[in-house]
Homo-oligomer: A and B are copies of this chain.
Amino acid sequence: MRIKKGERTQIIEKMKMEELKEFLAQKKIRPSFYRLKIYHFLIKERTHPTADEIFIHFKKEIPSISRATIYNTLNLFLSKKIVQQINIEKTEARYDASLSWHGHFKCLGCGKIYDFQIKEIKIQGLEDFDIQEKYLFLEGKCPYCLKRKIFLKGGKNGA
């Protein structure tokens, strides 16, 4: 299976569990029960969840699951470069299975993370630098919170 970079996300979304298994194996990740579950969750729900949100999600279904497993799995995915870490919040990391070059917007009203397209970035001063990774994070209010006039008072995260 050869996939062009831009299309990877959409293609993965259409995959069934069996296909995910193949995908992980191909990336030299043994497709264990939790790895499949967690990766599937990341590509299906595109909510950029935190490790703890993933833990809570599966805790209901599988009460024996441990946080260490979530972290181990996510770190494995990061090292194999099939997910990216989003450090838009200083408190906890979020995870995104979409690898394409895009930005993240955090709504300070509801806390939701939105993806957006980056058309162009012009910078100056790094002419002799080797740039390997790029992160663009924006914060503000999403249209729903603007309408509903939900404003965050003093806290750190929306909820």
Q: Which residues of A contact B (CB under 8 A)?
A: 85, 87-90, 93, 103, 105, 107-108, 114-126, 128-143, 146
Contacts and interface: CB of A to CB of B under 8 A. Distances in A.
Nearest to A118: B123
21 contacts: A87-B90, A114-B125, A114-B126, A116-B125, A116-B126, A119-B123, A120-B120, A121-B121, A128-B146, A129-B138, A129-B140, A129-B142, A130-B140, A130-B146, A131-B138, A133-B139, A134-B137, A135-B139, A136-B136, A136-B137, A137-B137
A123 B115 CA distance: 11
A107 B133 CA distance: 11
Contacts of A120: 120-122
Contacts of A131: 105, 138-140
